[in-house]
């Protein structure tokens, strides 16, 4: 047998064992897999921070980025607000809810690296002018918001919020019409 055939065969066998191991670990985590686990078959895992005496792995679907204990998806297509909410939900996630300055920095930096359009939905909207609400019902804290200068406009036609990519400061939120924009989805990372 030629050496390269042996190496390719050994690599294929190793890949199959790793895949089987990860699938087994992901499926043993609970009685029912999460919606995120059901939506994806390919995962990228990295070592988690120590949890007590054990070290585990934190996993995100392939193509998602991990930050702390969450996974983030930066879309490559545009949708309306309602379609964006449904799209994220269909992947076992929701539009991103910014809970900290560190998370705002991470999401903003990821969007800046994108070569896509200028606006990315986050999970903040208003049913009534000026009454902002996160998609996961986290209370909106005006002192922890990252509005662009002069925003929000608080008009009846601008009830959805985006991170405006051309804005290079940390304060890059803008209220916009709920038309077609890119989106950022988030979900809890799967720990195995």
Least confident of 91-95, 115-119, 186-190: 115-119
Locate 9 and state its tokens.
């065969």
Cα torsion through 44, 49, 55, 58, rounded to 10: -20
Quote the pLDDT of residue 43: 87
Per the prediction, the chain carries an average pLDDT of 84
Q: How far apart are CA 75 and CA 97, in angstroms?
A: 16
Q: Is the pLDDT of residue 33 over 70?
A: no
Phi first, then psi: give them for residue 38, nearest 5 degrees: -70, -30
Considering only residues 38 and 83, tell me which one the structure prediction assigns the higher pLDDT: 83
For the segment 178-192, what is each residue's pLDDT rounded down to a tens digit? Answer: 999 999 999 999 988
For the segment 131-176, what is each residue's pLDDT rounded down to a tens digit? Answer: 999 999 999 998 889 999 999 999 999 999 999 999 889 999 999 9
Quote the pLDDT of residue 168: 86
Q: What is the sign, positive or negative, of the torsion defined by CA atoms of 136, 63, 58, 24? A: positive
Residue-wise burial string across 74-113, b where 16 or more C-beta atoms lie within 10 A, e elsewhere: bbeebbebeebbebbeebbbbbbbbbeeebbebbbebbee
**pLDDT-above-90 percentage for the chain:** 63
Q: Is the pLDDT of residue 58 over 70?
A: yes
Inter-residue contact 122 to 98 (CB < 8 Å): yes
The predicted model gives 109-118 an average pLDDT of 89
Nearest of 124, 66, 78 to residue 97 by alpha carbon: 124
Domains of the chain: 69-187 (3.10.100.10)
pTM of the predicted structure, to 2 decimals: 0.78
Q: How far apart are CA 59 and CA 188, in angstroms?
A: 9
3-state secondary structure of 46: strand
Quote the pLDDT of residue 176: 97
How sure is the predictor about 116, in pLDDT bands with cuts at 50, 70 and 90? confident
The predicted model gives 95-103 an average pLDDT of 96
Q: Is the pLDDT of residue 18 over 70?
A: no
- Residues in Cβ contact with 141 at an 8 Å cutoff, skipping those fewer than 6 apart: none
């Amino acid at each position: 047998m030629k050496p390269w055939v042996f190496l390719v065969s050994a690599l294929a066998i190793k890949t199959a064992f790793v895949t089987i191991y990860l699938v087994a670990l992901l499926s043993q985590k609970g009685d029912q897999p999460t919606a995120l686990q059901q939506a994806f078959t390919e995962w990228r895992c990295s070592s988690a921070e120590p949890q007590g005496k054990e070290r585990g792995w934190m996993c995100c679907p392939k193509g998602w980025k991990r930050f702390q204990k969450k996974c983030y998806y930066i879309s490559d297509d545009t949708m309306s607000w309602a379609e964006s909410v449904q799209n994220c939900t269909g992947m076992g996630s929701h539009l991103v809810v910014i809970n900290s300055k560190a998370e705002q920095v991470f999401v903003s930096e990821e969007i800046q690296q994108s070569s896509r359009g200028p606006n990315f939905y986050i999970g903040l909207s208003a049913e009534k002018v000026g009454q902002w609400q996160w998609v996961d019902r986290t209370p909106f804290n005006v002192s922890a918001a990252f509005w662009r200068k002069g925003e929000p406009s608080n008009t009846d036609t601008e009830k959805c919020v985006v991170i405006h990519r051309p804005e290079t400061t940390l304060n890059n939120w803008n209220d916009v019409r709920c038309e077609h924009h890119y989106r950022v989805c988030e979900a809890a990372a799967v720990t195995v």
